[in-house]
Amino acid sequence: MPRAHSRGTALFACNSTTWGTMQALVDASRRKESVLVAGLDPVPSRFPEELQALPEDEATRKFCLGILEAVEPYVAAVKLQAAFFERLGPVGMGIYGDLIGAATDLGLPTVADVKRGDIGPVAAAYAEAHLGVYGATCVTVNPYMGEDAVLPFLDEARKQGGGVFVLVATSNPSSREVQEPTDPPLFEIIAGLVVRLGRFAGDYPDAGAVVGATRPRIGSRVRELMPEALFLSPGYGAQGGGASGVRPLLDRRSGGVLVNSSRSILYAYERSASGYKEAARDAASKAQQELRLSGARL
């Protein structure tokens, strides 16, 4: 049955049967011959001059829709960082929902990057909001409170035909202070949790892992622990991660990794004489080719 979603002031239907757990990401990746995910992290102060005179909400909508249109041929999916829309208030969340709808119309699965980490009815409400009401394909989850913080998201994902990416080994530098020094390291414990909770629904389990491209040594170890999981790998581009950091994350078939790039695509125009759409298109095309040459594929 179609699901009804409220996005902005509009109410429309989204047929959940067109998306199937993590397989939606896999199918889009194979169709595009790309493992690249474009991150939408809109910062109005960095928008091009022609958008600066507009109200922030209007500028954000126009900027993100322009980026979506520009990168669509080169990316397997889109990751929306919810915080940048939440800061705009109710109108921002309307834009967030509209962008998920626009991406879906373009054939692009969406990852709601919300990193929620609560339990019980609260976690279930977060899951229903982002996977049910807004209609994202997948969501990111913080597992610090254990499986109680993950299961409600998986339960909702299984109802809606989506998936969950659990934070395992993140790309930020200070993550090492928490994720590595214990015995066994926390990232290994979380990797085991994700493997235990995931169920196969297509080529990969519906519980995947966030593993940064900036930590190839740790990423290689996570791959040993999670040989069949799908990774979402941030840190490519502006955070210093490159193709060499992606290779250790690949599974035995040179697959299993989707690579996110946000600022390097969104603000490519700052390093270019082109307009923001053209520069984003060029940056996405270049990243797609670099990752293809690295051997990464799904």
Report pLDDT digits (tens) over 116-137. 999 999 999 999 999 999 999 9
**What values do phi and psi take at 167, rounded to 5?**
-65, 120
Q: Could you read off the pLDDT of 5-61 as tens digits, one per residue?
A: 433 333 223 333 334 478 999 999 999 999 999 999 999 999 999 999 999 999 999
Q: Assess if residue 4 is contained within a domain.
A: no
Range of the domain at 271: 17-293
* Structure token digits, residue 230: 């799908």
Q: Which of 62, 115, 159, 286 is flagged as catalytic?
A: 115
Q: What's this model's pTM, rounded to 2 decimal places?
A: 0.91
194 within 8 A of 209, measured Cβ to Cβ = yes
Q: Which amino acid is at 39?
A: G
Beta-bridge partner residues of 4: 13
What is the percent of the chain where pLDDT is above 70? 92
The domain tally of the chain equals 1
* Structure token digits, residue 100: 């998920």
Q: Assess if residue 12 is contained within a domain.
A: no
Q: Assess if residue 114 is contained within a domain.
A: yes
Q: Assess if residue 11 is contained within a domain.
A: no
Has 115 been annotated as catalytic? yes
What's the rounded Cα separation, in Å, for the pair 165 and 285?
Answer: 25
Nearest Cα residue to 65 out of 109, 103, 116: 103
Q: Assess if residue 5 is contained within a domain.
A: no
What's the rounded Cα separation, in Å, for the pair 39 and 10?
Answer: 24
Phi-psi region of 8 (alpha: psi -120 to 50; beta: other; left: phi over 0): left
The answer, yes or no, to whether residue 71 has pLDDT greater than 60, is: yes
45 within 8 A of 101, measured Cβ to Cβ = no
Q: Could you read off the pLDDT of 127-185 as tens digits, one per residue?
A: 999 999 999 999 999 999 999 999 999 999 999 999 999 999 998 889 888 988 899 99
Q: Could you read off the pLDDT of 190-224 as tens digits, one per residue?
A: 999 999 999 998 899 999 999 998 888 999 999 99
**CATH number, residue 286:** 3.20.20.70
- Cα dihedral sign, 29-31-33-34: negative
Q: Assess if residue 2 is contained within a domain.
A: no
